Structure 1
Amino acid sequence: MDHQSPSQKVPSLCSLRYGLCLLLHLCNATMFSQRWCLSLTMVAMVNSSALQGTPNASASEPLDSTKNPVYNWSPQTQGVILSAIMYGIPITLIPMGYISGVYPIKTVTGLGLLLSSLCSLLIPLAAEAGEALIIACRVVQGLSQGTVMVAQYTVWTKWAPPLEQSRLTSVSQSGIILGPCVSLFVTGFISQSLGWPVVFYIFGAGGCALSLLWFVLFYDDPAEHPWISLSEKEFITSSVMQASSSGKSVPIAAILKSLPVWAISVTCFAFSWTNTIMLMYMPTFLKAKLLINVRENGMLSALPHLLSWVLGNLAGWLADFLLARQILSLIAIRKFFTTLGLLLPTLFTVSLLHPGASPLGIITCLTLASATAGFCMAGMMVNPLDIAPRYFGFLKGVTILIGITGGLISSTLTGIILNQDPESSWVEIFLLMAAINVTSLIFYLAFSKAAVQDWAKDQQHVRL
């Protein structure tokens, strides 16, 4: 890719590509709010006797039963309902990575967001009909969200100039972090004042509105957009490598042999392992250490995600700044931010094991451990675009699938460890997390690349 000099640039913050980036950011935030709000509404949805064993089961004020219908779901049923969305996501990841290079991103992403939002609107009715229907609704929601998660990455193969790839990708993807933050922060208040069904109606309606905006405002190719300025169109089309796998066979054999791909994959596994524990079990850790109620729990659990959102966006801007000023090479930038995103959470979580930690120290370390993972937004998360822009969507499908596998294993294993010894088990959980992060980081530093790989270049197409 040829990098443009600053004199060739057009205004960015008021440009169409940044407007679309903000729209995609909001779509991600809404979609992930739809995914995680159930973690807190579950407290209001079940009888108090059924609350034991759920991640967010802590003391709270009595809720109005007329606004908050309750169900006699066992802890096991609650666990299945909470995790059902994760069953649907992996099914779509790799197929959508290929489909996103063949079918219009506008259609694939827009329909995926719309279906996820409709499922959110239907969850209160599904809950009333029985646990089987709400489980099915969550699985379908997972299928639709998996579609959007992968398809959206292909957007930046045509819309992001080389010197803006880190910031555009990190800003749009940081909505994934903002979503849980918003969800954890407002769900308790909405459930208390308006009733838990309203949570799903608000996030569902917001997603439907955003999907309609997406269909109106987004075009797959900037050259086809009716409202883009001529200067921005020329700037993007002249600087972006028109990388598309449309009509091309995906070089599966070469991808499987590629050490840079494996380097990205193992760090995705580690990132998801850490992030899932922080997201799912932070309320449990806070309850055990600080004995706080559900509203305070939700607010404190939201704080790290808000800070992570800030750091993720800053990382993207800083990465592009370092590249534009030629302060660091592209591979050095990717390694630097990946190191921060994996090593800092390790240091802060290990610090939590200090026996004399104060409540303020616990909250600070827990917040920073979760928040500093946002640095990965400018590291290994965007790295597939460097090594294989032609197959960016497919590679993201593969790496996200590996990441989700890490999240599923970590959430299950953490639950097993906590069940055996709730008091001292956090030592094992955090040390295992540290070992996985450090090992993955060493592998990434040794084998990661930032240059387009031979198998991803136009002149080579390896068939199955």
Structure 2
Amino acid sequence: MEFLGTIPRRVEETRKSFTGGTVLSRLSETSDYSVDSEAGSSGVFAISSSTEYLYENRPRIPKETWGARHTLILMGFLGFAATYGMRVNLSVAIVAMVKHTLVANSSNENSEGTCPMPNNGGDQDSSLEISGEFDWDENVQGLMLAAFFYGYAVSNLFGGRLAEHFGGKLVLGWGIVLTGILSIISPFCARIAPELFFAIRVLEGLTEGVTVPSMHQLLSTWAPSVERSQFSSFVYAGVQFGTVITMPVCGWLCNTDLFGGWPSAFYIFGGLGVIWGVFWYFLVYDLPEDHPKISQEELTYILGWTEGNKQKEPLAVPWREIFTSRPFYALAILHFGNSWGFYTLLTELPTYLSNIQHFDMKSNGLVSALPYLIMWLVSVIYSLVMGLLARRGRISLIGIRRLSASIAAYGPMLALVAMCFVNCDRTLALVVLCLAMGLNGAVYCGYTTSHMDLAPNFAGTLMGLTNSFGTIPGIAAPSVTGAITYGNQTLGAWRTVFLLAAVLYCTTATVYVAFISADVQPWNEGVPARAKKDEGEKTKF
């Protein structure tokens, strides 16, 4: 028998049928199991003595270089790049939209803890007066940056369930297209009334909130378990790619006369979201077996590594079991802590670099994007390494999840603590921020994929639940940061912002590492499975 990969479930906890047949009995105390398939053929399952994980003779990886599953992953990557382009554009554009004046200091650092203006040849002129259209103070800016997440939190709750009922293609596609349309009309609304602009940002969050749960639902159907970490990492790396592209481009657009300057940041990225939707409609399908051009070899491979893990029809959600599950709470808690740190930097980094380190608008977008470029590269490379180690049996699935979560949380925690000591060293500040975001790139092999580990049938619903909880920082972090720095744009105020994020990284990651599981939970079979509990199980060892 050729061992092609690991199944991330301990043998003693496995109670289900696998591809090729049902495990009927244990043949010896060492490794072998007999298997009888419906066709009458038999096979052998073996256990690695070093990893204690089950190896199966599953279908080979197709020889074709590019398959239908790769098209889905690429379109998902581009879709998330588009969504974050429409989400992040305000973080950069708001610097040009509002009126504010900063006073340069002649000393290296004055008694109030502010940094001096760059000397000759620096990034900014001696005058830091920026004549924007809107007279919004720090609190109002914080509310505008947080508005998106009010809608985002609500739609995450039902986005996954909608995808499970109507298909991830439809729900995710319309979510991004509608967000694009709302982004295009945002500048008009801002000029009419700030309340209307706030409402549009809430609606954008509402339409975009279904995207992550919908993609999780699609991945649980399309991503073979041996490729799940890599595929998830690549798809969600679109978040960093979109951020990397958006920040410098928005910084440049805000300094041009194209479409009036800052409004072009909303027109262009909104238009890209709409254009993406056209390609998504024609190239992506909800199920591998529905794809008209998928090869038989690829279809066999996908179904061979996902069969039994994902129901074709939605099941009734076992709410009681979910909300009494310890691994679920560990997952949700880390999602909250990681989101706080991520959203603090995502929404406030341009403001910090502009007001504290005195980068100008053109440099601000480019410099703000650099940490996310590092995160993008780390996430892709790290996922490839983890996938290679998993296929060779060098690390278990639970090992990948715990290691990845630790790197993605404890690394940024230490970096944010270090941010309290960089003071006015602009270069060092940027290096530390790059380190923080780069290490966080391991997150996509960590808790982000745990939803599919725990319950493939409810991957969308679980992501909707934890992402709703994880969206609270998207609302709270900009508001808290705005309150801390309101009228107090000093190093001391920003140290408080960074330390708060560091504490949440540490505590929530510790809970996750201690209590998470990589095993499919019994409630994955849904509510109907409980009624059949007394009928007996055919797959007991």
TM-score, normalising length: structure 2: 0.78
1:298-319 Cα deviation digits (max 9, x unpaired): 2111000111111112222222
1:405-449 Cα deviation digits (max 9, x unpaired): 133333332333333853323333333322222221221121110
Structure-2 residue corresponding to 1:323: 390
Structure-1 residue corresponding to 2:300: 234
**Unmatched segments (≥5 aa) in structure 1:** 52-57
**Among 401, 407, 412, the residue aligned to 1:340:** 407
1:138-172 Cα deviation digits (max 9, x unpaired): 22111110012221110011100110001111111
* Bigger Cα displacement from structure 2, 340-349 vs 79-88: 79-88
1:19-34 superposed matches below 5 A: 19-34=71-86
Structure-2 residue corresponding to 1:174: 237
**Among 452, 457, 463, the residue aligned to 2:525:** 457
| AA at the equivalent of 1:107 | L
Structure-2 residue corresponding to 1:39: 91
The alignment status of 1:215 with 2:267, answered yes or no, reads no
Equivalents in 2 of 1:211, 1:60: separation in Å? 42
Q: Tell me, yes or no, if the aligned pair for 2:223 and 2:302 is still in contact at 8 Å.
A: yes
Structure-2 residue corresponding to 1:438: 506
Q: Tell me, yes or no, if the aligned pair for 2:332 and 2:469 is still in contact at 8 Å.
A: yes
Displacement of 1:5 in angstroms is 6.1
Q: Tell me, yes or no, if the aligned pair for 1:50 and 1:75 is still in contact at 8 Å.
A: no
Displacement of 1:27 in angstroms is 0.7
**Among 204, 225, 229, the residue aligned to 2:291:** 225
**Among 186, 190, 209, the residue aligned to 1:127:** 190
- Aligned with 1:451: secondary structure? coil
**Among 204, 217, 232, the residue aligned to 1:154:** 217
Q: Tell me, yes or no, if the aligned pair for 2:327 and 2:516 is still in contact at 8 Å.
A: yes
TM-score, normalising length: structure 1: 0.90
Displacement of 1:322 in angstroms is 1.6
Structure 1 pair 396/355, CA: closer, same or farther in 2 (3 Å)?
A: closer
Equivalents in 2 of 1:36, 1:123: separation in Å? 14
Structure 1 pair 40/431, CA: closer, same or farther in 2 (3 Å)?
A: closer
Equivalents in 1 of 2:132, 2:513: separation in Å? 52
| AA at the equivalent of 1:18 | H
Structure-2 residue corresponding to 1:55: none
Equivalents in 1 of 2:294, 2:223: separation in Å? 14
Q: Tell me, yes or no, if the aligned pair for 1:114 and 1:207 is still in contact at 8 Å.
A: yes
Equivalents in 2 of 1:4, 1:146: separation in Å? 37
Say what the alpha-carbon RMSD is for the aligned residues. Answer: 2.7
Displacement of 1:362 in angstroms is 1.9
Displacement of 1:77 in angstroms is 4.2
Equivalents in 2 of 1:446, 1:331: separation in Å? 11
Equivalents in 2 of 1:69, 1:249: separation in Å? 52
Higher helix residue share: 1
Structure 1 pair 76/12, CA: closer, same or farther in 2 (3 Å)?
A: farther
Higher strand residue share: 2
Structure-1 residue corresponding to 2:203: 140
Structure 1 pair 132/430, CA: closer, same or farther in 2 (3 Å)?
A: closer
Q: Tell me, yes or no, if the aligned pair for 1:385 and 1:392 is still in contact at 8 Å.
A: yes
Displacement of 1:180 in angstroms is 1.9
Q: Tell me, yes or no, if the aligned pair for 1:153 and 1:396 is still in contact at 8 Å.
A: yes
Q: Tell me, yes or no, if the aligned pair for 2:315 and 2:528 is still in contact at 8 Å.
A: no
Q: Tell me, yes or no, if the aligned pair for 1:162 and 1:239 is still in contact at 8 Å.
A: yes
Displacement of 1:249 in angstroms is 1.4
- Aligned with 1:431: secondary structure? helix
Equivalents in 1 of 2:523, 2:239: separation in Å? 31
Structure 1 pair 5/428, CA: closer, same or farther in 2 (3 Å)?
A: farther
Structure 1 pair 75/344, CA: closer, same or farther in 2 (3 Å)?
A: closer
* Bigger Cα displacement from structure 2, 410-419 vs 342-351: 410-419
1:385-418 Cα deviation digits (max 9, x unpaired): 0111111000000111111113333333233333
1:211-232 Cα deviation digits (max 9, x unpaired): 1111101111111101111211
Structure 1 pair 462/20, CA: closer, same or farther in 2 (3 Å)?
A: same
Structure-2 residue corresponding to 1:54: none
Structure-1 residue corresponding to 2:515: 447
1:315-464 superposed matches below 5 A: 315-354=382-421, 358-419=425-486, 422-457=490-525, 461=529
Structure 1 pair 117/4, CA: closer, same or farther in 2 (3 Å)?
A: farther
Q: Tell me, yes or no, if the aligned pair for 1:454 and 1:460 is still in contact at 8 Å.
A: no
- Aligned with 2:323: secondary structure? helix
The alignment status of 1:244 with 2:244, answered yes or no, reads no
Displacement of 1:4 in angstroms is 6.3
- Aligned with 2:255: secondary structure? helix
Structure-1 residue corresponding to 2:369: 302
Structure-2 residue corresponding to 1:281: 348
- How many residues are treated as equivalent by the alignment? 453
Q: Tell me, yes or no, if the aligned pair for 1:101 and 1:244 is still in contact at 8 Å.
A: no
Q: Tell me, yes or no, if the aligned pair for 2:91 and 2:348 is still in contact at 8 Å.
A: no
* Bigger Cα displacement from structure 2, 288-297 vs 248-257: 288-297
Equivalents in 2 of 1:288, 1:135: separation in Å? 24
| AA at the equivalent of 1:224 | D
Q: Tell me, yes or no, if the aligned pair for 2:184 and 2:270 is still in contact at 8 Å.
A: yes
Equivalents in 1 of 2:187, 2:352: separation in Å? 29
Equivalents in 2 of 1:234, 1:205: separation in Å? 38
* Bigger Cα displacement from structure 2, 206-215 vs 35-44: 35-44
Structure-2 residue corresponding to 1:10: 62
**Among 103, 113, 117, the residue aligned to 2:176:** 113
Q: Tell me, yes or no, if the aligned pair for 1:283 and 1:297 is still in contact at 8 Å.
A: yes
